[in-house]
Amino acid sequence: MAKVSLDSGLCPVSIVRHGLQTQLTWKQCSIFVINFVNAMQQGLLSTLGPYVTSSFWMHSLTATTSIMSSLIGGIFKLPLAKILDIWGRPQGFAIMVGVMVLGLVMMAACDGVKTYAAAQVMYWLGYGYRFLFHTVQS
């Protein structure tokens, strides 16, 4: 990132405009990267979900697990947004990314359908707030 000083012949308004443009570029690039990684991860989860439930001989619970986790994640989206708006958006984003990662780790280490279902709920809680956060920030 190029530094702009007052000695460069630019007026202070140009310096502020340059700084704001740089921040906007970084923000757009980070949103793109996060959405790209999330789309790749969603593809993997939807592909590997039936494989996980079938390995426990409970293949019929694939739809139940995904519907219930999406429903619980959707129900808690607004109350969670209000709570985390009180705590602060950056702290809430960090906490919910942690919850989402915890859900992914639980999915990777699950040893039964119950653990997989709990991991799905944790993941969708984090994902719901992350989506809400990006919607508000964009």
Low-confidence ranges of the chain (pLDDT < 70): 1-19, 137-138
Residue 110 lies in a domain: yes
First to last CA, the chain: 23
Please check whether residue 32 lies inside any domain of the structure.
no
Q: CA-CA-CA-CA torsion for 83, 106, 34, 129, nearest 10 degrees?
A: -20
Range of the domain at 60: 49-137
pTM: 0.69
Q: Which residue spans within the chain are E strands per DSSP? A: none
pLDDT at 85: 78
Q: What's the pLDDT tens digit per position in 32-49?
A: 887 788 788 778 777 777
Q: How many domains does the chain have?
A: 1
Q: What percent of the chain has pLDDT over 70?
A: 82
Burial class (CB in 10 A: 0-12, 13-18, 19+), 92: buried
Structural domain includes residue 98: yes
Q: How far apart are CA 111 and CA 127, in angstroms?
A: 23
In a domain, residue 57? The reply is: yes
